[in-house]
Structure 1
Amino acid sequence: MNEQIARGTRHDPAFANIGKGRLDQSLEKELGPKTGKALGKLGLRTVEDLLRHYPRRYGDRGRLTALAELRTGEHVTVIARVAGNDLRAMRNRSGAILTVRITDGTEELTLTFFGKHRGSLEYHERRLRPGATGMFTGTVSLYRGARQLTHPDYDTFDDLDDEFEAVQKVDWPIPIYPASSAIASWRIGKAVQTLMATIEASDVPEALPAAYRKEHRLPDVLTALRRVHEPHSPEDWRGAHKRFRHEEAFVLQTALAQRRAVSLAEATTARPPRAGGVRDAFDARLPFELTAGQQEVAAVLERELATSVPMMRLLQGEVGSGKTVVAVRGMLQVVDAGGQAALLAPTEVLAQQHYRSITDLLGPLAEAGMLGGAEHATRVVLLTGSMSAAARRKALALAASGAAGIVIGTHALLSEIVQIPDLGLVVVDEQHRFGVEQRDALRAKGRTTPHLLVMTATPIPRTVAMTSFGDLETSTLRELPAGRAGITTTIVPANKPHWVGRTWERVREEIDSGGRAYVVCPRITAGEDAGAAEDGFSDDVTAELFGLEDERAPRRPLASVEEVSALLRETPALDGVAIGQMHGQLPTEAKDAAMADFASGRTPVLVSTTVIEVGVDVPEATVMVILDADRFGLSQLHQLRGRIGRGTRPGLCLAVTAADPATPTGERLLAFAATTDGFELAETDLRLRREGDVLGASQSGRSSSLRLLRVLTDAPIIEAARSAARDLVARDPELTTEPGLAQMVAESIDEDAAAYLERT
Structure 2
Amino acid sequence: MVSLQDSPGVLLDKKTTAGLASLNITTVGELLRYPPRRYMQQGHLDQRERLEAGEWTTVVGTITASQMISMKRKHGQFLKVVVDDGHQRVEATFFNPRAIRRALQPGARVMLAGKVKYFREQVQLSHPQWAVIPDGDGDAGKVVGSAMAAEMYTADTELAEEGHETAAFDRPIIPMYPASSEIQTWTIWNAVRRVLAQLPPQPDVLDDAWRRSRGLLTADEALRKIHLPDTEDDITAARERLKFDEALAIQTVLAQRRIAGHREQSVACPPVSDGLEAKLLQRLPFELTDGQKEVVAEIGDDLASTAPMSRLLQGEVGSGKTLVSLLTMLRVVDNGHQCVLMAPTEVLAAQHYRTIRSMLGDLAEAGELTAAEGATKIALLTGSMKTKGKRQTLLDVVTGEAGIVIGTHALLEEKVSFFDLGMVVVDEQHRFGVEQRDVLRGRGKDGVHPHFLVMTATPIPRTVAMTAFGDLDTSTLRELPRGRQPISTTVVPMGSSKWVDRVWERAAEEIASGRQVYVVCSRIGDDGPEEELRKIEDDPALRTTSVLDMFEELSSGPLGGHSIEMLHGRMPPDEKNFVMDRFGAGDVDIVVSTTVIEVGVDVPNATMMVIIDADRFGVSQLHQLRGRVGRGEHAGLCLLLTTANPVSQSMERLKAVAGSNDGFELARIDLQQRREGDVLGSLQSGGKSSLHFLSLLDDADVIADARELAEEVVSMDLPLADHRPLADLVDGILAPQKVAYLDKS
Question: TM-score of the superposition, structure 2-length normalised?
Answer: 0.87
Task: Identify the residue that residue 386 of structure 2 maps to in structure 1.
Answer: 388
User: Aligned partners of 1:244 and 1:68: how far apart in 2?
Assistant: 20
304, 324, 334: which is aligned to 1:306? Answer: 304
Q: CA deviation at 1:84?
A: 6.4
314, 319, 322: which is aligned to 2:320? Answer: 322
Task: Identify the residue that residue 134 of structure 2 maps to in structure 1.
Answer: 156
CA gap of 1:229–1:667, structure 2 versus 1, over 3 A, is same
Residues 689-743 of structure 1 deviation map (CA, whole Å, 9 limit, x = unaligned): 1110123369965321221100111000111111211121111111122102112
Q: Return the letter of the residue paired with 2:610.
A: V
CA gap of 1:409–1:190, structure 2 versus 1, over 3 A, is same
Task: Identify the residue that residue 455 of structure 1 maps to in structure 2.
Answer: 455
Task: Identify the residue that residue 35 of structure 1 maps to in structure 2.
Answer: 16
Where 1:510 maps in the other structure, the secondary structure is: helix
Q: CA deviation at 1:70?
A: 7.6
User: Aligned partners of 1:157 and 1:478: how far apart in 2?
Assistant: 59
Q: Return the letter of the residue paired with 1:566.
A: E
Mapping 1:572-591, distance limit 5 Å: 572=558, 574-591=559-576
CA gap of 1:245–1:156, structure 2 versus 1, over 3 A, is same
User: Aligned partners of 2:120 and 2:585: how far apart in 1?
Assistant: 60
1:570 matched to 2:548? The reply is no
User: Aligned partners of 1:483 and 1:719: how far apart in 2?
Assistant: 38
- Give yes or no for contact 1:691–1:706 (8 Å, CA) kept in 2: no
Mapping 1:16-95, distance limit 5 Å: 22-63=3-44, 75-83=56-64
616, 636, 652: which is aligned to 2:601? Answer: 616
User: Aligned partners of 1:88 and 1:264: how far apart in 2?
Assistant: 71
Task: Identify the residue that residue 558 of structure 1 maps to in structure 2.
Answer: 544
Q: Return the letter of the residue paired with 1:660.
A: N
Q: Return the letter of the residue paired with 2:578.
A: A
Q: CA deviation at 1:299?
A: 0.7
CA gap of 1:142–1:245, structure 2 versus 1, over 3 A, is closer
CA gap of 1:673–1:537, structure 2 versus 1, over 3 A, is farther
288, 291, 294: which is aligned to 1:293? Answer: 291
585, 590, 594: which is aligned to 1:605? Answer: 590
Identity of counterpart residues, as a percentage?
A: 48
Task: Identify the residue that residue 372 of structure 2 maps to in structure 1.
Answer: 374
Task: Identify the residue that residue 14 of structure 1 maps to in structure 2.
Answer: none
User: Aligned partners of 2:48 and 2:329: how far apart in 1?
Assistant: 61
1:464 matched to 2:464? The reply is yes
CA gap of 1:396–1:44, structure 2 versus 1, over 3 A, is closer
- Give yes or no for contact 1:68–1:107 (8 Å, CA) kept in 2: no
- Give yes or no for contact 1:697–1:703 (8 Å, CA) kept in 2: no
- Give yes or no for contact 1:400–1:420 (8 Å, CA) kept in 2: yes
- Give yes or no for contact 1:386–1:588 (8 Å, CA) kept in 2: yes
CA gap of 1:95–1:391, structure 2 versus 1, over 3 A, is closer
Task: Identify the residue that residue 155 of structure 2 maps to in structure 1.
Answer: none
1:236 matched to 2:212? The reply is no
Q: Return the letter of the residue paired with 1:175.
A: P
Mapping 1:183-332, distance limit 5 Å: 183-202=183-202, 206-208=204-206, 212-332=210-330
Task: Identify the residue that residue 501 of structure 2 maps to in structure 1.
Answer: 501
- Give yes or no for contact 2:113–2:128 (8 Å, CA) kept in 1: no
656, 668, 690: which is aligned to 1:671? Answer: 656
User: Aligned partners of 1:438 and 1:430: how far apart in 2?
Assistant: 13
- Give yes or no for contact 2:677–2:689 (8 Å, CA) kept in 1: yes
Residues 73-97 of structure 1 deviation map (CA, whole Å, 9 limit, x = unaligned): 6654444334466799999999997
CA gap of 1:669–1:208, structure 2 versus 1, over 3 A, is farther
User: Aligned partners of 1:213 and 1:40: how far apart in 2?
Assistant: 33
User: Aligned partners of 1:615 and 1:408: how far apart in 2?
Assistant: 13
Task: Identify the residue that residue 581 of structure 2 maps to in structure 1.
Answer: 596
Residues 180-217 of structure 1 deviation map (CA, whole Å, 9 limit, x = unaligned): 34444344323322221221125xx6454655434423
Where 1:669 maps in the other structure, the secondary structure is: helix
- Give yes or no for contact 2:62–2:83 (8 Å, CA) kept in 1: yes
Residues 200-235 of structure 1 deviation map (CA, whole Å, 9 limit, x = unaligned): 125xx6454655434423222221011111111111
Mapping 1:659-698, distance limit 5 Å: 659-696=644-681
Task: Identify the residue that residue 704 of structure 1 maps to in structure 2.
Answer: 689
User: Aligned partners of 1:342 and 1:67: how far apart in 2?
Assistant: 48
- Give yes or no for contact 2:70–2:78 (8 Å, CA) kept in 1: yes
Q: CA deviation at 1:262?
A: 1.7
Where 1:562 maps in the other structure, the secondary structure is: helix
- Give yes or no for contact 1:696–1:756 (8 Å, CA) kept in 2: no
Q: CA deviation at 1:602?
A: 1.5
1:713 matched to 2:708? The reply is no
- Give yes or no for contact 2:68–2:77 (8 Å, CA) kept in 1: yes
- Give yes or no for contact 1:520–1:609 (8 Å, CA) kept in 2: yes
User: Aligned partners of 2:122 and 2:601: how far apart in 1?
Assistant: 52
Task: Identify the residue that residue 16 of structure 1 maps to in structure 2.
Answer: none
Q: Return the letter of the residue paired with 1:744.
A: L
1:645 matched to 2:630? The reply is yes
Q: Return the letter of the residue paired with 1:179.
A: A
- Give yes or no for contact 2:2–2:199 (8 Å, CA) kept in 1: no
Task: Identify the residue that residue 173 of structure 1 maps to in structure 2.
Answer: 173
Q: CA deviation at 1:25?
A: 4.2
Q: CA deviation at 1:755?
A: 6.7
Q: Return the letter of the residue paired with 1:561.
A: V
Q: CA deviation at 1:247?
A: 0.5
User: Aligned partners of 2:480 and 2:122: how far apart in 1?
Assistant: 54
- Give yes or no for contact 1:57–1:175 (8 Å, CA) kept in 2: yes
Q: CA deviation at 1:571?
A: 1.1
Residues 256-295 of structure 1 deviation map (CA, whole Å, 9 limit, x = unaligned): 1112222211111111111122111111111111111111
- Choose 193-202 or 219-228, whichever is displaced more: 193-202
- Choose 640-649 or 435-444, whichever is displaced more: 435-444
CA gap of 1:601–1:480, structure 2 versus 1, over 3 A, is same
Task: Identify the residue that residue 421 of structure 1 maps to in structure 2.
Answer: 419
Q: CA deviation at 1:526?
A: 4.2
Q: CA deviation at 1:34?
A: 3.8
User: Aligned partners of 1:216 and 1:615: how far apart in 2?
Assistant: 46
Where 1:659 maps in the other structure, the secondary structure is: coil
Q: Show structure 2 runs of 5+ residues with no match.
A: 141-159
CA gap of 1:132–1:332, structure 2 versus 1, over 3 A, is same
Residues 124-163 of structure 1 deviation map (CA, whole Å, 9 limit, x = unaligned): 72xx665444544444568999976434423333361599
User: Aligned partners of 1:209 and 1:68: how far apart in 2?
Assistant: 35
Q: CA deviation at 1:429?
A: 0.8
1:409 matched to 2:407? The reply is yes
CA gap of 1:560–1:140, structure 2 versus 1, over 3 A, is closer
User: Aligned partners of 2:671 and 2:61: how far apart in 1?
Assistant: 33
Q: Return the letter of the residue paired with 2:135.
A: F
- Give yes or no for contact 1:491–1:656 (8 Å, CA) kept in 2: yes
Larger RCO of the pair (alpha carbons < 8 Å, separation 6+): 1
User: Aligned partners of 1:476 and 1:135: how far apart in 2?
Assistant: 52
Where 2:418 maps in the other structure, the secondary structure is: coil
Question: TM-score of the superposition, structure 1-length normalised?
Answer: 0.86
Q: Return the letter of the residue paired with 1:570.
A: S
CA gap of 1:726–1:388, structure 2 versus 1, over 3 A, is same
- Give yes or no for contact 1:65–1:78 (8 Å, CA) kept in 2: no
User: Aligned partners of 1:273 and 1:256: how far apart in 2?
Assistant: 30
CA gap of 1:341–1:361, structure 2 versus 1, over 3 A, is same
Aligned residues: 717
- Choose 668-677 or 315-324, whichever is displaced more: 668-677
- Give yes or no for contact 1:345–1:429 (8 Å, CA) kept in 2: yes
